[in-house]
């Protein structure tokens, strides 16, 4: 991972890292780790949104660790941070998966799901830009027909990233938009179809039915499509991301997740708790609004940034 991206990631996770550092501070300067200290570590990690199970697992690892004491016979901060980062990395590593390496169809259909405000439309544009840089052509399907602003936003992004945009009437059939986008891709030999879906309808049931319909309609054109069904989660919602991911997975069977808005959030630890609870790949993280602010997820870099290491 490029040094400038790691710097950006570390800056973006600074509020989350400051909470993790609270757990590290619980031990720094102590000669032994007693039960009260362990409880304090767990509490601090839970406050950092790593979740109860992960907090307990890390606390146990720290308890069992044989730390080398300094000349004052005290435990040093760097040792604790490294142990914490290593344990977090172990949890995250099995979920690390490069979204761009999963493209093996043409057209390749990538459907983005998620609640309103999660950053789906911006993420669609950032993905389109990444594919463009890899010399792949993209068509964007503005399947969020219930919000005119979302369609206009996607059209604006489409112009910026050089992608065609297929849209429909306001309040129209979102599945039909995805269908037409696929047909266009097939006709014009376009590599990638990215479907930006609606985030909120009258109720959650309507939303999920609309999503399953879109998947069903696209699969009539290609049995394996959508080839990727990725949920976009807002990193600022913390543990609420669990229920969102669960709902979308039960509805359409997710193949991966992207977590956005980690910059300025103190809830970045939720990435770890999501990885612990769900066997769903993490493809990318977003730490800003710029086109290059969505980057491939790397367990090692994230773990170091969250633990405050360089």
pTM of the entire predicted model: 0.93
Render pLDDT for 177-230 as a digit per residue (tens, 0 to 9): 999 999 999 999 999 999 999 886 556 788 899 999 999 999 999 999 999 999
Q: What angle do CA 218, 243, 224 make, to 5 degrees?
A: 20
CB burial of residue 55 (10 Å; 0-12, 13-18, 19+): buried
Which spans in 13-115 are helix H? 14-27, 35-47, 52-64, 77-92
| 232: its two tokens | 């976009």
Q: Give the model's pLDDT for residue 27.
A: 78
pLDDT at 104: 86
Residue 306: CB partners within 8 Å, gap ≥ 6? 13, 16, 17, 20, 85, 88, 268, 269, 272
* pLDDT for the residue numbered 73: 67
In angstroms, the Cα distances linking 201 to 21, 116, 151, 245 are 40, 10, 15, 17
For the chain, the 3-state helix, strand and coil shares in percent, each to the nearest 5, are 55, 15, 35
Rounded Cα distance, 163 and 105, in Å: 18
| Phi, psi angle pair for 190, to nearest 5° | -85, 140
Residue range 229-249, pLDDT digits in tens: 999 999 999 889 999 999 999
Mean of per-residue pLDDT scores for the chain: 90
Residue 158 has pLDDT above 90, yes or no: yes
Give the pLDDT confidence score for residue 71 in this predicted structure. Answer: 67
Q: What is the mean pLDDT of residues 113-139?
A: 94
- Give the model's confidence band at 3: pLDDT under 50 very low, under 70 low, under 90 confident, else very high: low
User: For the chain, what percent of residues have pLDDT higher than 90?
Assistant: 57
* Structure tokens given for 238: 């913390």
Mean pLDDT calculated for residue range 157-174: 93
Q: pLDDT tens digit string along 52-68? A: 999 998 888 888 887 76
Q: Are 196 and 121 in contact (CB under 8 A)?
A: yes
Q: What is the pLDDT of residues 7-30, one digit of tens each?
A: 888 888 888 888 888 778 877 777
Helix 3-12, helix 14-27: angle, nearest 10: 70
The pLDDT of 287-302, averaged and rounded, is: 89
Least confident segment among 95-99, 143-147, 163-167: 143-147
One DSSP character per residue, 159-218 reads HHHT-EEE---TT--HHHHHHHHHHHHHHTT-SEEEEEE-S--SSHHHHHHHHHHHHHHH
Query: Which pLDDT score is estimated for 299?
Result: 96
Q: Are strands 282-286 and 192-197 parallel, antiparallel or unpaired?
A: unpaired
**33-to-29, 78, 124, 219, 227 alpha-carbon distances in Å:** 10, 16, 47, 56, 49
Average pLDDT estimate for 124-147: 94
Are 272 and 88 in contact by the 8 Å Cβ rule? The answer is yes
Which tops the pLDDT comparison, 133 or 72?
A: 133
What's residue 279's pLDDT? 95
What pLDDT is stored for residue 203 in this prediction?
66
């Amino acid at each position: 991972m490029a040094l400038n991206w790691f710097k950006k990631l570390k800056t973006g996770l600074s509020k989350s890292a400051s909470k993790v550092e609270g757990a590290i501070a619980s031990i720094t300067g102590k000669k032994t780790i007693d039960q009260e200290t362990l409880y304090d570590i767990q509490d601090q990690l839970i406050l950092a949104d790593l979740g109860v199970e992960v907090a307990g697992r890390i606390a146990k690892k720290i308890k069992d660790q044989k730390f080398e004491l300094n000349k004052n016979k005290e435990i040093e901060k760097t040792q604790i941070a490294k142990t914490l980062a290593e344990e977090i990395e172990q949890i995250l590593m099995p979920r690390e998966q490069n979204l761009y390496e999963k493209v093996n169809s043409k057209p390749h259909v990538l459907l983005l799901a998620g609640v309103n405000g999660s950053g789906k439309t911006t993420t669609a544009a950032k993905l389109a830009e990444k594919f463009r840089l890899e010399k792949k052509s993209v068509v964007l399907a503005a399947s969020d027909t219930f919000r005119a602003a979302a369609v206009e936003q996607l059209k604006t992004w489409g112009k910026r990233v050089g992608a065609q945009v297929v849209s429909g009437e306001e309040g129209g059939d979102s599945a039909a938009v995805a269908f037409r986008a696929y047909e266009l891709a097939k006709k014009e030999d376009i590599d990638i179809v990215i479907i930006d879906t609606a985030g909120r309808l009258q109720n959650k049931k309507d939303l999920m039915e609309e999503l399953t319909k879109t998947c069903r309609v696209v699969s009539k054109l290609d049995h394996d499509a959508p080839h990727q069904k990725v949920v976009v989660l807002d990193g600022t919602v913390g543990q609420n991301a669990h229920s969102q991911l669960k709902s979308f997975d039960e509805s359409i069977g997710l193949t991966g997740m992207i977590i956005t808005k980690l910059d300025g959030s103190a809830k970045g630890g939720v990435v770890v708790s999501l990885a612990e609870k769900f066997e769903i790949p993490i493809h990318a993280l977003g730490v800003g609004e710029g086109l290059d602010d969505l980057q491939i997820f790397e367990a090692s870099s994230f773990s170091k940034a969250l633990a405050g290491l360089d």
